[in-house]
Amino acid sequence: MATPKDVPLKDYRNVGIIAHIDAGKTTTTEGILYRTGINHKIGEVRGDGDGATTDWMAQEKERGITITSAAVTCFWKGCKINIIDTPGHIDFTAEVERSLRVLDGAVTVFDGKMGVEAQSETVWRQANKYGVPRICFINKINQIGGDFYKSLESIHNRLTKNAFPIHLPIGFEKDINGLVDLIDMKAYTYKDYADHELVQEEIPADMLERAKNARSLLVENAVEADDALMMKFFDEGEEAITIDELKAALRKRVLAGDFFLVTGGDGRGVIVEKVLDLMADYLPSPLDIPEVWGKNPKTGDEISRKPDVTEPMSALAFKIATDPFVGKLIFVRVYSGKLNAGSYVLNTTSGEKERVGRIVRMHADKREDIDEICAGDIAAVVGLKQITTGATLCDVAHPIALESITFPDPPVSIAVEPKTKADQEKMGIALQRLAEEDPTFRIHTDDETGQTIMSGMGELHLEILVDRMKREFKVEANVGEPQVAFRETIRGISQVQGKHAKQSGGRGQYGDVWVRFEPNEPGKGFEFADEIKGGVVPAEYRSAVKAGIEETLAGGVIAGYPVVDVKAALYDGSYHDVDSSELAFKLAGILATKDGVRAAKPVLLEPVMHVEVTTPEDFMGDIIGDLNSRRGRIDAMEDLMGGAKLIKAMVPLASMFGYTGDIRSMSQGRAASTMELAAYEEVPPNVAQDIIEKRSKK
């Protein structure tokens, strides 16, 4: 087997396995590790066995889901493949987001019984956002209800028309025993999915016509990658295109990011070797990716780094994990140069210089010490302290700040209290560690109640975090009911005076400002405009006014929730030569904000979720009625494979707690749902009044 140093950069593949929950990502990864000789058997995702290699957390083994993205390295036909198996559940979407930020290619796995599902669309959009070329693997087509062609049709209908089979399955459902390769027009078969190799044969007679048609379509679309090849195709026909020319043209089209090759089979079986071939032949190496751009933190100038070991070192920390044996593990993608164990690096996010202790190549939760990571590679670093997800590490003499990773604000919160005095200190450490690992998990203390508030992406997300706190950090805690992260904003414009004047013997306090408040574009946040002319408020006091406004907006005005999407313009005021100070103007800013927001038609905003429910037709009426009763709006209904129906709706998060259990009861366990944050919308006046009254009683 090749060792890392034997592999040239052109043969590196950094690949993510992405999909909807339960499509078979982890099983496919297990199949890959078995076929590449990393594992001696295939781990089970569910059951009492050793479990899947990449699902190594206790919660992952119990629930049969992937929670954290796991990194493994394997080798296939001269290629070194770094694989990241990502979660499918929407609550852990940040894991997918940060993995796609550093990966060069992806394999999108689809459940062959279901076709494109809700989270399939989400991960597809995320991959589009980062321009990640990908191939499609339709899994489980060997099971009852599995159908390669219907799944392909759902990809065409819901994701892209530019998806073309490169293999066609031989057989149907449980009788599937191989595939036809449309490149060399040969059949590759097996007697049992666990066979050690595929047998090359001639294409079955009953499939020959279909295979020829599918190949013609593939060739016709491939030659668009190259003008000379297209002319050859038109002049001399499909037969004139050689296999090497076809593969080169397909690779070029796949690398463009808007053309997708499709295969299918059983993710546990020998057919996975064909998926590995596709990764090696068509997914990009680090050399195929454009140079990475960032900014010089000193000058702000745009600078670039090429994937070359002779360039100054630059790397992005995309994941932080707590390891019980080595402490904090920082997963990094090196974009240029070399990162050596024992060397000093600059963290341009924190501005601190730190020493790299050890470098380890990860095999899920197992580690192998290495001396260096070179451009294009992914590994984990031990020993860095002031580090956060999305931080840039670089050569001290050649600083660069790469574009960081942005994460959505978590919409769900719970209060958590330690059961005993001994648990209190342990809980503080546990929450800090978990927050370092997970950028969508936030913690803060409620000023009024003194409670610790945990915020996350959903009920399951918070449930897993509390469970990890108990198991990994041995913290016993009482947990409150989930709460919604409401917001406040304004719909009108107001112009108000904020005046703080006190005289109590000796030097007094004087600050006087006029501020105009108006709505900002949704999602823009807070903007401050300095419109002072003629020095009526001296320049040194204006930042204090801004600080007072920001502080007040963060604490809320009508119900104590953060006020968002507001523009505040400081346009007039007055000062006193002796009595004015930064504190006085900050207090004037606070008074102006309280009055200004109240006068500008304040409203409450609530997180509204995009909910998708897959259900048999029998239960559709009950489910729609239930969603309507939760203040939901039904947006669309679609037919799915196997007679199932898809309901798309927008529903306030406040109405959706416990929905997973409710929908199971309603449908005898046969319906499933996913939801993700869609937008913040205005709360109806009667509901808003209830929320404000409840907050005021606390």
Q: Distance (Å, rounded) from C-alpha 319 to C-alpha 53?
A: 19
The model's confidence at residue 39, banded by pLDDT at 50, 70 and 90, is: low
Q: Under a CB-based contact definition with an 8 Å cutoff, are residues 360 and 326 in contact?
A: yes
pLDDT, tens digit, 9 for 90 and up, residues 207-254: 999 999 999 999 999 999 889 999 999 999 888 899 999 999 999 999
Q: Under a CB-based contact definition with an 8 Å cutoff, are residues 666 and 630 in contact?
A: no
Percent of the residues in the chain that have a pLDDT greater than 70, as a whole number = 90
Res. 65: pLDDT tops 70: no
Q: What is the mean pLDDT of residues 285-302?
A: 89
Q: Give the model's pLDDT for residue 57.
A: 43
Res. 583: pLDDT tops 80: yes
Res. 260: pLDDT tops 50: yes
Res. 517: pLDDT tops 90: yes
Q: Distance (Å, rounded) from C-alpha 440 to C-alpha 456?
A: 6
Q: Give the model's pLDDT for residue 216.
A: 94
Window from 33-42, 184-193, 393-402, 445-454 with minimum mean pLDDT: 33-42
Q: Is it true that domain 412-483 has CATH number 3.40.50.2300?
A: no
Res. 1: pLDDT tops 50: no
The model's confidence at residue 349, banded by pLDDT at 50, 70 and 90, is: confident
Instruction: State which CATH number among 3.90.1150.10, 3.30.590.10, 3.20.20.80, 3.40.50.300 fits the domain covering 12-281.
Output: 3.40.50.300
DSSP three-state, residue 414: strand
State which amino acid sits at residue 368.
E
Print burial letters for 99-125: b (CB count within 10 Å at least 16), e (below 16).
bbbbbbbbbbbbbbbbbbbbbbebbbe
Q: What is the pTM of this model?
A: 0.73
Looking up tokens 């707690």, which residue turns up?
657
Ranges for all domains in the chain classified under CATH 3.40.50.300? 12-281
Of 95 and 577, more confident: 577
Q: Under a CB-based contact definition with an 8 Å cutoff, are residues 314 and 393 in contact?
A: yes
Across the chain, mean pLDDT equals 85
Q: Distance (Å, rounded) from C-alpha 493 to C-alpha 515?
A: 11
Of 590 and 410, more confident: 590
Q: Give the model's pLDDT for residue 367.
A: 73
pLDDT, tens digit, 9 for 90 and up, residues 310-331: 999 999 888 777 666 667 788 8
The model's confidence at residue 87, banded by pLDDT at 50, 70 and 90, is: low
Of 95 and 8, more confident: 8
The model's confidence at residue 36, banded by pLDDT at 50, 70 and 90, is: confident
Q: What is the CATH number of domain 492-600?
A: 3.30.230.10
pLDDT, tens digit, 9 for 90 and up, residues 267-293: 888 889 999 999 999 999 999 988 888
Tell me which range, 36-50, 133-147, 408-422, 426-440, is most confidently predicted by mean pLDDT.
133-147
Q: Give the model's pLDDT for residue 218.
A: 95
Q: Distance (Å, rounded) from C-alpha 356 to C-alpha 379?
A: 13
Ranges for all domains in the chain classified under CATH 3.30.70.870? 412-483
Q: Taking the mean position of all CA atoms in its chain, how far away is CA 468?
A: 20
Res. 64: pLDDT tops 70: no
pLDDT, tens digit, 9 for 90 and up, residues 394-422: 999 999 998 877 777 788 888 898 888 88
The model's confidence at residue 93, banded by pLDDT at 50, 70 and 90, is: low
Ranges for all domains in the chain classified under CATH 2.40.30.10? 292-402
Q: Under a CB-based contact definition with an 8 Å cutoff, are residues 616 and 670 in contact?
A: yes
Q: Give the model's pLDDT for residue 368.
A: 81
Q: What is the mean pLDDT of residues 538-567?
A: 93
pLDDT, tens digit, 9 for 90 and up, residues 375-394: 999 888 988 887 877 889 99
Q: What is the CATH number of domain 604-697?
A: 3.30.70.240
Can you give the three-state secondary structure of 569-624, one letter per residue? Answer: EEEEEECCCCCCCHHHHHHHHHHHHHHHHHHCCEEEEEEEEEEEEEEEHHHHHHHH
Res. 628: pLDDT tops 60: yes
Of 334 and 385, more confident: 334
Q: Is it true that domain 292-402 has CATH number 2.40.30.10?
A: yes
State which amino acid sits at residue 439.
P
H or E segment to which residue 74 belongs: strand 70-76
Residue 337 falls in which region: left (phi positive, over 0), alpha (psi -120 to 50) or beta: left
Q: What is the mean pLDDT of residues 655-668?
A: 86
Looking up tokens 């005076």, which residue turns up?
497
